[in-house]
Structure 1
C-alpha cells in the first residue's frame, strides 16, 4: 500500500487554521447565541430549545424577506451577466479608444456602494429628483413619480442599480476569459464560413463557461449579502416591503435588539449560501466532466 506524502497537508495547514479562526469560530459563536436566550447586551441566559428559530420561521416579515432575497439575487446576477457578456465582447474587440472605454466601464467599481446609493436616492427623489426632471423635460410624464414611496417602483429600481454596480466586476471576469481564447480558433472558423453568431455559440460560449461559473458563484455570494443599496435608499421600507435578509437581520439585531433571532438569520443565510455553492459547483464540475468525456 502506497504511503501518502504528508507535505501537501502540512503546507495547507496554516491556511486552514487561519480559515478556522476567521470562519469557524464566529459561526460557533452564532450557534451559541441563536440557541440561547440572550439580552440586547449579548449576555446568554440559557438554552431555549431553539425558540429563536421557531419565532423566526413564524415571522411573516422573515418569510417575505427570504422570497425577496431570492428575487433580488437572481435578478441582479442574471441581469449583470446578460449585460456583461456583450459589453465584454465589445471591449475585447480592437477599436479606437478601447482603453478609455474600459476605464469608463470600470469606473463604477471604484465608487463605494454607499456613495452610489446616495446619488441614486437623490436622483429618484419624488419632488426634485433628476429622473423625474428628465422625464418631464421629454414629455413622458406630467406629474412627479414617487419612485421610493412604493415597493412596486422602489424594489425594481434597486434591482436595476444592483445590476449597474455589478457589471464592472462581471465584465472583468469575462474579459479575462475572452483574452484566454486563442484567436486562431476564430480565424479557422471564419475560413470555414462560420457566422459571428455561430462562432459565439460554438467557440466563445463553451470556452467562457468556466468563467461564467465563477461569475455566478462570486456574484451570488456578493449580491446575496449586499447591504448598502437597499439600506441607504429605502432602509427596507416602506413598511418592510423592500427588506431582504441582510437588512432584516440588521433591524432585528440593532434596532429591535433581538440578537438571538438576528443570529438565527445569519445562520440561515450562511446555510443557504453554502448549500447553493456546493450544489452549483458540483453540477458545474459534473457538466465539465461530461463535456470533456464527449
Structure 2
C-alpha cells in the first residue's frame, strides 16, 4: 500500500503548486470569456459563447490564426534544420571549439525584446544597417522599407525568430550528441560506413528523442512569442503581421475588450493542448514500435 501511494504523495506538492499557477488562472479566464466584462475588468452579465461568435466572425482574427500557424511552423522547422548541422559541427573536436560554443550560446543570454529592438534599428528603411550594407555591396540602388510592408516584414520576422531560437535548440542537440558512444561510430567506420550513413543510421535515430523535445518546446515558445512581432511592427502595417498573441494584446489592452481577449487566450490554449497531446502520443507510439 505504501509503495503504491508513495509516488502520488511525492508529486502532490508539485501538483498543488501547478494547480495554483495554472488551474486557478484558467478558471478565471474561462469566467471572463463567458461574461460581459467592462474595460476595467468588472464582470457583469453572463453571455455564454458570444465572445467566441464575435471572434470567429472577425476576419482579422481568422487571418491572425492562420498567420500564427504559418509563423510557428516556419520558425520551428527552420530552427531544427539549421540547428542540427551546427550542433554536429560544435560536437567535433577542433581548436577553439569552446569559444565557438560560447559565441553560439551568447545570444541566448540577451533579452529577446532587446534583440528585436536591435533588429528593428537594423531594418530601418532609411538609416538601417541592412540597407547600408546592401548598398555598399552594390546589391540595391534604393532603400528597401523592410518593415513597412507585410511582404518583407513578416519574412524578416520569421528570420529573426529562427536566429533567436537556434542557441536553445543547439544546446539540446549538443546534450543529445554527448550521450552517443564513440564506439558506435568506430564500429560503423570499421564496417565501411561513410559519414552520411553514420549520420542516418546512428546519429539521427539516437538524436530523435532530443529532436522531439526541441520540436515541442520550440512550438510552445514560438506560438506564444510576443516580443519579436511587437517590437518590430506591433502587428502592422494594417494588422498584416499580427499573430494571435499580438491580436490578444490589442483586443484586451488597446480596445479594452477583456472578454474577447480571454476567449482568444482560451483558443490559443486549446490549440497548443491539442497539438501537444497529438504529438506526444505519436512520439510514444513511435518509441514503442
- Specify the TM-score bucket, using the shorter chain as the normaliser: over 0.9
Q: Does 1:121 align with 2:105?
A: no
**Superposed CA offset, 1:54-108 (max 9, x none):** 0011110000000000010000000010000000000000000000000000011
In structure 1, the residue matched to 2:73 is 74
Aligned-partner SS, 2:44: strand
CA distance in 2, matches of 1:113, 1:122: 14
CA distance in 2, matches of 1:218, 1:245: 18
In structure 2, the residue matched to 1:36 is 35
In structure 2, the residue matched to 1:172 is 171
In structure 2, the residue matched to 1:48 is 47
In structure 2, the residue matched to 1:22 is 21
CA distance in 1, matches of 2:55, 2:153: 26
Shift of 1:4: 6.8
Aligned-partner SS, 1:140: coil
Shift of 1:47: 0.8
* Equivalent runs, 1:134-283 vs 2, <5 Å: 134-283=133-282
Let me know the Cα RMSD of the aligned residues: 0.9
Aligned-partner SS, 2:127: coil
CA distance in 1, matches of 2:145, 2:51: 37
CA distance in 1, matches of 2:178, 2:30: 45
CA distance in 2, matches of 1:262, 1:63: 14
CA distance in 2, matches of 1:9, 1:279: 26
Shift of 1:5: 1.7
CA distance in 2, matches of 1:171, 1:156: 22
Shift of 1:51: 0.5
- Where structure 2 has 5 or more consecutive residues not aligned to the other structure, the ranges are none
Moved over 3 A (4+): none
**Superposed CA offset, 1:189-215 (max 9, x none):** 000010100000000000000000000
- Where structure 1 has 5 or more consecutive residues not aligned to the other structure, the ranges are none
**Superposed CA offset, 1:147-206 (max 9, x none):** 000000000000000000000000000000000000000000000010100000000000
CA distance in 2, matches of 1:289, 1:214: 17
Aligned-partner SS, 2:261: helix
Aligned-partner SS, 1:45: strand
CA distance in 2, matches of 1:82, 1:108: 19
CA distance in 1, matches of 2:234, 2:25: 26
Aligned-partner SS, 1:6: helix
CA distance in 2, matches of 1:233, 1:5: 53
Shift of 1:49: 2.3
